[in-house]
């Protein structure tokens, strides 16, 4: 099925509807927003096998993976609904008047920014796309959402959009609470980001795409925030004590992570670093054996397959880069070949190409001469979503400076685990220093993701009757609030 790129007139109409809806939707109660998100989750389930089969055809992802992803998306929607009602994201702060000091009554909460434009990810047609975390968290915050369908799964996106639109209509909310447009060219994206009614942007994808959106947003007469996740090579540091006792186990563990989903995860471990010697040699040998046994997998679409082939070839043809292993089976059309390469730390320091993400089943092993080089390599890295330490307790104690270097570059610091797999939980941080994301203070997973779409507003000297419900003395929402520096759910007497 072919979809035409939205015209400027269509974008104007959708954004005007979103703005008008915002003036109404931002006044709705958390309970009503939560009901909308739970209705969307039920709608995704009711869409049945047709939705799954359409996504399979468009993305080449297996049925089990897509069913699990739809279930995750439904869980995200309901968990954001729960968080919306709980109200912690409102961050209510109340300091009552102090007459003896002539201090006024001041009360603060978070309020919705306005219409949010969401750009979905190619590799997650459900969880990071049309009804994904960006959409769910923005709806929780009181912001209408306009989604630009990803052209790699445009029909799937259209089906999900119909589910959301139906839930909005059944809830009796304005049509503009959710909008959906198509566009394969950059013109559509630019028009959405620069539209006068757009107040924030969510994006998951490549560095080039995210940086372009960020720049357009910054160049507006009124700049707006862009929360873009733009990829990561997710370094894994093999510390000597752990490597000595667990080289084979680590090789098996990392081979599975590198090739999971044909390597098409933003948390794929694309860089592995260790100290040269017999232990690292054994690890590399075992990793190579596992990779050779792994069959090539069909990638999401021809564009990603071509990009992987090109980036892989470029990386392997750099000076002082050696190919360790490739999958023994011959790839078919649009398949990604599992590959492991290696290079010295010196080559890594002197060649920026080796720092770039190769999106697919590929990883580069950096062989350092000593701990000094290993730490230097860590400090040469740009911002990452994750960094993993394969280490014993003694390793952590003896090499605290490396631990600190790894901590400085990532949003999630992992001990003896792989980065693939992101738990949907309040304590999860899915974001990191630039260029992994455009704002490392926020994450795209878990209830704190709602905070991307709000800003603080203080009410001073208002009567109780005129205040928003979250700030009223009686606390009608029953939420936690900080009153005169004390966290409580009590009313103000």
Of the listed 58, 85, 229, 286, which one is catalytic?
229
Among the listed residues 58, 69, 84, 266, the single catalytic one is 266
Query: Who contacts 425 (Cβ-Cβ below 8 Å, separation ≥6)?
Result: 445, 446
8 Å CB contact between 254 and 286: no
Dihedral (CA of 137, 62, 388, 359) sign: negative
100 classed as catalytic: no
- How distant is the alpha carbon of residue 432 from its chain centre? 10
> How far apart are alpha carbons 92 and 478 in whole angstroms?
12
Residue 458 annotated among the catalytic residues of the structure:
no
Taking the C-alpha atoms of residue 289 and residue 330, their distance in angstroms, rounded to an integer, is: 16
Evaluated on CA atoms 387, 391, 394, 399, the torsion sign reads: negative
Q: Identify whether the C-beta of residue 87 lies closer than 8 Å to the C-beta of residue 480.
A: yes
Q: Known catalytic residues?
A: 229, 266
């Amino acid at each position: 099925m072919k979809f035409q790129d939205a015209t400027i007139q269509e974008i104007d109409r959708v954004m005007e509807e979103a703005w008008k809806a915002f003036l109404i939707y931002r006044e709705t109660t958390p309970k009503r927003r939560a009901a909308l998100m739970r209705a969307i989750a039920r709608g995704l389930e009711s869409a049945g096998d047709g939705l799954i089969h359409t996504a399979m055809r468009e993305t080449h992802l297996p049925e089990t993976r897509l069913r699990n992803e739809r279930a995750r998306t439904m869980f995200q929607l309901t968990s954001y609904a729960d968080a919306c009602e709980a109200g912690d994201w409102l961050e209510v702060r109340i300091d009552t008047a102090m007459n003896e000091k002539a201090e006024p009554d001041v009360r603060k909460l978070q309020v919705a920014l306005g219409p949010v434009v969401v750009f979905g990810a190619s590799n997650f047609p459900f969880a990071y796309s049309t009804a994904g975390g960006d959409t769910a968290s923005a709806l929780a915050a009181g912001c209408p959402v306009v989604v630009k369908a990803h052209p790699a799964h445009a029909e799937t996106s259209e089906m999900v959009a119909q589910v959301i639109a139906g839930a909005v209509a059944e809830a009796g909310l304005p049509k503009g609470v959710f909008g959906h447009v198509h566009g394969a060219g950059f013109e559509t994206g630019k028009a959405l980001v620069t539209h006068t009614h757009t107040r924030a942007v969510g994006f998951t994808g490549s560095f080039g795409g995210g940086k372009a959106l960020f720049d357009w947003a910054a160049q507006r007469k009124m700049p707006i925030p862009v929360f873009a996740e733009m990829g990561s090579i997710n370094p894994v540091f093999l510390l000597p004590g752990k490597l000595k006792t667990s080289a084979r186990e680590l090789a098996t563990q990392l081979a599975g992570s590198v090739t999971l989903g044909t390597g098409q995860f933003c948390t794929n471990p694309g860089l592995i670093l260790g100290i040269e010697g017999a232990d690292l040699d054994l690890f590399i040998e075992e990793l190579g054996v596992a990779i050779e046994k792994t069959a090539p997998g069909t990638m999401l679409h021809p564009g990603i397959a071509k990009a992987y082939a090109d980036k892989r070839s470029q990386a392997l043809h750099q000076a002082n880069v050696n190919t360790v292993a490739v999958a023994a089976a011959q790839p078919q059309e649009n398949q990604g070949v599992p590959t492991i390469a290696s290079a010295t730390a010196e080559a890594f320091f002197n060649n920026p190409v080796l720092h770039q993400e190769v999106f697919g089943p590929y990883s580069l092993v950096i062989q350092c001469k000593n701990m000094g080089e290993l730490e230097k390599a860590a400090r040469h890295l740009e911002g990452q979503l994750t960094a993993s330490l394969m280490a014993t307790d003694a390793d952590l104690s003896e090499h605290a400076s490396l631990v600190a270097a790894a901590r400085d570059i990532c949003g999630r610091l992992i001990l003896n685990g792989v980065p693939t797999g992101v738990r949907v939980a309040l304590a999860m941080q899915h974001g990191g220093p630039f260029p992994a994301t455009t704002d490392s203070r926020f994450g795209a997973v878990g209830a704190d993701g709602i905070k991307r779409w709000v800003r603080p507003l203080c009410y001073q000297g208002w009567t109780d009757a005129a205040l928003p419900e979250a700030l009223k003395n009686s606390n009608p929402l029953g939420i936690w609030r900080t009153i005169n520096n004390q966290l409580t759910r009590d009313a103000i007497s």
